[in-house]
Structure 1
Amino acid sequence: MQASVEQFADGRYTDARRTLQRAIARNKRHAAELPGPVSSLYATLATVAEHEGDTQLWKTAARNNVVLLREKLGEANVATMIEEIHFADDMVGLGQPVLGDGIYAKIQRLAVANGQSGLGAAAAFRRAWLALARQRDREAMRFADEAVTLAGPRLPMMRQMREIVRTRIAIRKGDEAAVDALAERLRQSVVTQPVLLYAPPIDDVNPPPRDATLTSLSDGAIRFADVGYWIRADGHVDNVEMLRTNGLGQWKPGIVRNVNGRRYAPMRLPDAQPGLYRIDRFTVRGTVGIPPGSRLRQRMGNLTVHVVDLTGTEAMSEAARAHMAQRTAVTPAPSPQ
C-alpha cells in the first residue's frame, strides 16, 4: 500500500496500479482474517484507476471492494455500508447517476433498519446532492430534509449541510450574495473540518472542434498538477500555488481560478493556527478504451478532470503529509483577517 501511495503521489500511475494489482493477487486469500486491509487495497486501486482513465478497472475494483466486505462482514455491517456508499459515489463519477441513486436509497433503508440513522442521513444527503447536480431542486430539498430528520439533534452539522443545498439552488437562480449569507449564518456554529460551500466550475479542458493546433492535447498522456493552498478560519482560500505540474499547459490558470474561488464554512481552529493547509491532485486525462476498427486499448474521447485530496484521503495521506511538511516549512501562513 505504501509503495503504491508513493508512486501515485509521484505521478507514476501505471506503477501504482501494478503494485496494487500484485498486492491484491498475493493477499486476497487473506480477506477472511484481514478484510479491512484487503478492502483498502481494492479501494485504493479504484482511485488510481479513476485517475489513470481505466473506467472498467475503476468499476471492477470498487465493486470487488464491496463484494468482499459483504461476504466477510455482512451487508448490514457499518464498514460494508460505508464502502457501498463510496461505490455509489464511483458509479456517479462513472456517469451512472440512476444506479448511484439506487444504491444510496438502499443503504439509507438498510442503515435505518439496523439502527444506524447517522449513516442513513449520510446516504440521504448524497441523494440530495445528486438531485442538485441533476437540477432537480425539489427532490434535492426533500432528500436534504430527510437527512436532517434522520440525523436528529445528535448531528447538527446535517442542518448546515441542508443550508448548503439551499444556497447552491439560490446561486443557480442568480443570487450572488447567497454564499456570503450562508457563511455568516455558519459563523455561529463553526466546524472543525473544511466543508466546501462553493467552487467555480473548472474551464472545459477539451480543445475546440477542428482546432488543429490543439488536437495533440487529446493524445494518450496523463497530465496532472498538485495544488497547495491554505483554508483560512473564515473559509476563504489563500496562497494558492502550483507545487508541481506535468503537462497541464493552458489549463493551469483555470485550475488555479477554481481553487482561488472556493468558499468553505468558517472553522473553529486553535488561536495559534492560522488555517489548514491542503494539497489537491488534479488529473486531466481521456478514457481508456478500444476505438472502432482497432483491437488495441488506448486513451480516447473527451478529456475530463479528476481531483483527490492528497492530505485528506486515507490511502494517500502518508505521502501527502511528507510533501505538505516540506511545503509548509517554506510557505508563509496566510495573514489574519
Structure 2
Amino acid sequence: MEESKIVRALAGVQDPNTGTDIITANMVLHLKVDAPNVSFTLQLPKLDNDYKQQLNFACQEAILGIYPEANVHVHMQNPSSAAPASAPNGAPGGPQKANPLPHVRNIIAVASGKGGVGKSTVAVNLALALQEIGGAVGLLDADVYGPSAPTMLGLVGQKPKVEKVYGKPKIKPLFAYGMPVMSTGFVVEPEQAVVLRGPRLSGIIKQFLEECIWPPLDYLIIDLPPGTGDVQLSLVQTVPVTGAVLVTTPQDVALADAVKAMNMFFLPDVQVPVLGVVENMSWFTPRELPDNKYYLFGKDGGKTLAKKSNSMLLGQVPLIEGIREGGDDGKPAFLDRDDEMVREVWLKVAKNVARQTALRNEMMEQTPIVQIKS
C-alpha cells in the first residue's frame, strides 16, 4: 500500500460544507499505513451525525476503490468542542462555535463609519493587489443595500450557479480577474430596492459564508456596509475575523464616523484587531499635473484614526480620475498597467495589509467567533 496513492484518493473526497477536498482543507491528520490497516484522523468543524456519516462513507469508498483489502479506520475530532478555561481576547469562556471556513487563512473586513468614502473601491483594489503579490484572494461584497462589486468588476447581469455537494445545494461564486466573488448584487436586480430587517440580513451573510463553495484562500476580503449594524454583528458571529481595515477621508465629519466603526471592533464582546487605516481622497492630482497635490478635504484624518486605533496608516489614496473611471468601467484602476502611480498606491496598501496580518497572526491567537449574549 502506497501512502501517496491513499492521499490522492482522499483528495477526491469533498467536505459537504465547503465543497473543498479534505486534503486541500488540511482536514486529514495522523495518516498511518500498515497494510492492510489504514488509519487517520479527520478534523471536522462540527460533529453532527449526518456530516460524520457522509465523510466516513466517502473516505471508506475512496480508499477501498484502490485497495479493496484495506481495513480503514477513521477517527473524527473537533478541536473546538472542548471548553477552554478562558477564551482568547477576553471573550467569554465555553465551547467555541466551529469555523465554517477552515480553509480560509485570513478574513479581513473593510469597514467605514459612513458611506461615500470609497470603501468598496478600497476593498476591490486591495483584493486585486493582494492577488498580485502572490495571495489567493476572494471578495465578498456584504454591502446588501448598495452592492458595488458587480459594477466594479464587470459582472453586472451575471448569476451564480448552484451545485449539489452530497445532495446539498451550494452556491458557486463568480470569478473576475481570477478572483472568486460573491455579492447580493448577483441575486437581486440592479434597480430593485433591498428592504431587509435584522434576521434576513443575518441569513444572507451566513448563507454567503457557509453555503458558498469558496476555494482555499489566503485572504477573504469582506466589503461591509457603512455603519455598525446587523451585517457587522452577523459577520463576527459567523466567522473568526482576522482583522479590520478602516477607510476614511481626511475631513473631520468622516473621521468622526470612522471612530464609531473602530469602536465597534473594540467592543468587549467583539475584540477584532484593527490592522490599519486607508485614507481615501487624500488629495486631488490632475492627470495633466501629476506632481501637484490639492488637499480638497483637509489633511491627516487617516493619521489621526491610525493613532486612535493603535494601528498604522496603510496608505493614502489620491483623488484621481482614473480610479473613478476604472470602478465605473468594470476594470479597477489597479489593473491599469499604464498607470504606475496608481498601481504603486494600491501595492503599498496591499503589502502593508499583508505585513500587518502576518504580525497580527504571529502575536495573537485566532479571533474567536463572537457569542453575544442578549
Check whether TM > 0.5. Answer: no
Bigger share in helix: 1
Greater relative contact order: 1 or 2 (C-alpha under 8 angstroms, separation 6 or more)?
A: 2
Bigger share in strand: 2
TM-score bracket, normalised by the shorter chain, equals under 0.3
TM-score, normalised via structure 2 length: 0.25
Q: Which has the larger radius of gyration?
A: 2
